[in-house]
């Protein structure tokens, strides 16, 4: 059982929900990322999605675009991101880490080299935003061979045929994009998300995490009622941006911010969707 499967199995047993924060590696500075990851764990993170900065993040809104620019300005390469995961694993051997990013930096390193190094660094899963299943027949076996879970996106526009093709390649969990838009949007429609999750559940038993549009405890609780996990990204990255010049306070700020979402999820009645 992978570390990610373990987390969801444990949560399922006690009827809890996964809290999955996203931050961009190297933002505001590469030296701070490991400390921020530990702060997220103390704030209640079950899994961490660590963004690999890219010069052209076409699926991201302005908040994460700027996070990428800050990280790249300090030379945050994929190689350095892997070093950060190694650093994190120095003291945390239990919290799964999923790298989330775009294909080009991974291909520049070489898929197989990346898979080997990611495993060695202690990465648990990979979500490549611009790699849909149709283009993934080489990448998926290479990542699986190193014990890495392949997390794929599903969206409101995904047809049942696409859902079917995607769940066959996916492992760990599925990331359902709650709305048509980019990261950081705020037009969450919980009713339509619930309907689509029901459709997806007819195709798979994989845990379903929902992201895009979750900004606070209230929206986390709404989504927590219908999903297995809740992803929060832009709302955290906004705080990082706000304190980029005085980052000493950031670990506590992120811990408190995430803690509010943790409390909201834990207050939900135990369920078994």
Partner 1 sequence: MIYQNLPDARGHFGPYGGRFVAETLMEPLRRLEEAYLRLKDDPAFRAELEKDLKYYVGRPSPLYPAERLTRAWGGAQVFLKREDLNHTGAHKINNTVGQALLAKHLGKTRIIAETGAGQHGVASATVAARLGMECVVYMGVDDVERQSPNVYRMKLLGARVVPVTSGTRTLKDALNEALRDWVTNVDNTFYIIGTVAGPHPYPMLVRDFNAVVGREVVEQSQDMLGRFPDALVACVGGGSNAIGLFHPFIEHDAVKMYGVEAGGLGLATGQHAAPLSAGRPGVLHGNRTYVMADDNGQILGTHSISAGLDYPGVGPEHSWLKDIGRVSYVTVTDDEALAAFHELARVEGIIPALESAHAVAYAKKLAPQMRRDQTIVVNLSGRGDKDIFTVAKREGIQLL
Cβ atoms of residues 88 and 122 within 8 Å: yes
Binding mask 209-238 vs partner 1 (x if CB under 8 A, - otherwise)? ------------------------------
Among 105, 125, 172, 224, binds partner 1 (CB under 8 A): 105
- Does 60 participate in catalysis according to the annotation? yes
Give yes or no for a contact between 104 and 88, defined as CB atoms under 8 angstroms apart. Answer: no
Helix (H, G, I), strand (E, B) or coil at 7: helix
Smallest distance from the beta carbon of 159 to partner 1, in angstroms?
6
Pick the closer one to partner 1 by CB: 65 or 222: 65
Q: Measured between alpha carbons, how far is 122 from 210 in angstroms, rounded to an integer?
A: 24
Tell me whether residue 104 or residue 146 sits nearer to partner 1 (CB atom).
104
Owner of token pair 């832009």:
234
Q: Which of 6, 31, 79, 189 binds partner 1 (CB under 8 A)?
A: 79
Query: Considering beta carbons, is residue 137 or 191 the nearer one to partner 1?
Result: 137
**Interacting residues with partner 1 between 137 and 166 (CB under 8 A):** 152-159, 162, 166
Q: Taking the complex as a whole, how short is the minimal distance between the CB of residue 56 and partner 1, in angstroms? A: 5
Binding mask 172-211 for partner 1 (x = CB under 8 A): -----x--xxx--x--------------------------
Exactly one of 27, 31, 46, 49 is catalytic; name it.
Answer: 49
Region at 15 (left for phi over 0; alpha for psi -120 to 50; beta for the rest): left
Decide if residue 267 touches partner 1 (CB under 8 A). no
Annotated catalytic, 31?
no
Name 89's Cβ contacts closer than 8 Å, sequence gap at least 6. 121, 122
Question: What are 161's two structure tokens?
Answer: 């045929």
Catalytic annotation, pick one of 27, 46, 60, 228: 60
List of residues 6+ apart from 228 with CB closer than 8 A:
8, 11, 12, 17, 18, 173, 207, 208, 209, 273
Q: Please state, in angstroms and rounded to a whole number, the distance separating the CA atoms of residues 86 and 81.
A: 9
Tokens of 249: 């306070």
| Nearest CA-CA partner of 102 in 121, 83, 127, 81 | 127
d(CA 226, CA 28): 33
Q: Under the criterion CB under 8 A, does residue 168 sit at the interface with partner 1? A: no
56 binds partner 1 (CB under 8 A): yes
Contact between 45 and 21 under an 8 Å Cβ cutoff? The reply is: yes
Residues identified as active-site: 49, 60
> Which residues sit at the interface with partner 1, rule CB under 8 A?
54-62, 65, 69, 72, 77-79, 102-109, 129-132, 134-135, 152-159, 162, 166, 177, 180-182, 185
């Amino acid at each position: 059982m992978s570390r990610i499967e373990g987390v969801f199995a444990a949560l399922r047993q006690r009827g809890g929900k996964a809290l999955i924060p996203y931050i961009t590696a190297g933002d505001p500075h590469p030296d701070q990322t490991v400390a921020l990851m530990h702060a997220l764990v103390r704030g209640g993170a079950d899994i961490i999605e660590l963004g690999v900065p890219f010069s052209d993040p076409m699926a991201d809104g302005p908040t994460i675009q700027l996070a990428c620019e800050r990280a790249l300005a300090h030379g945050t390469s994929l190689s350095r991101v892997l070093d950060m995961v190694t650093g994190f694993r120095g003291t945390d051997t239990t919290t799964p880490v999923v790298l989330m990013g775009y294909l080009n930096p991974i291909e520049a390193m070489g898929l197989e080299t990346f898979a080997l190094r990611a495993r060695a660094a202690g990465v648990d899963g990979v979500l490549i935003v611009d790699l849909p299943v149709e283009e993934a027949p080489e990448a998926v076996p290479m990542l699986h061979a190193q014990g890495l879970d392949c997390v794929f996106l599903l969206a409101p526009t995904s047809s049942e045929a696409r859902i079917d093709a995607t769940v066959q390649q996916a492992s760990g969990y599925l990331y359902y994009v709650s709305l048509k838009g980019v990261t950081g949007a705020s037009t969450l429609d919980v009713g339509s998300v619930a309907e689509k999750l029901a459709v997806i559940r007819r195709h798979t038993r994989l845990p379903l995490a929902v992201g895009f549009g979750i900004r606070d405890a209230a929206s986390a609780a709404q989504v927590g009622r219908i999903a297995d996990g809740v992803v929060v990204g832009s709302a955290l990255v906004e705080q990082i941006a706000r304190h980029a010049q005085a980052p000493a306070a950031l670990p506590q700020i992120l811990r408190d911010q995430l803690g509010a979402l943790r409390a909201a999820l834990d207050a939900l009645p135990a369920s078994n969707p």
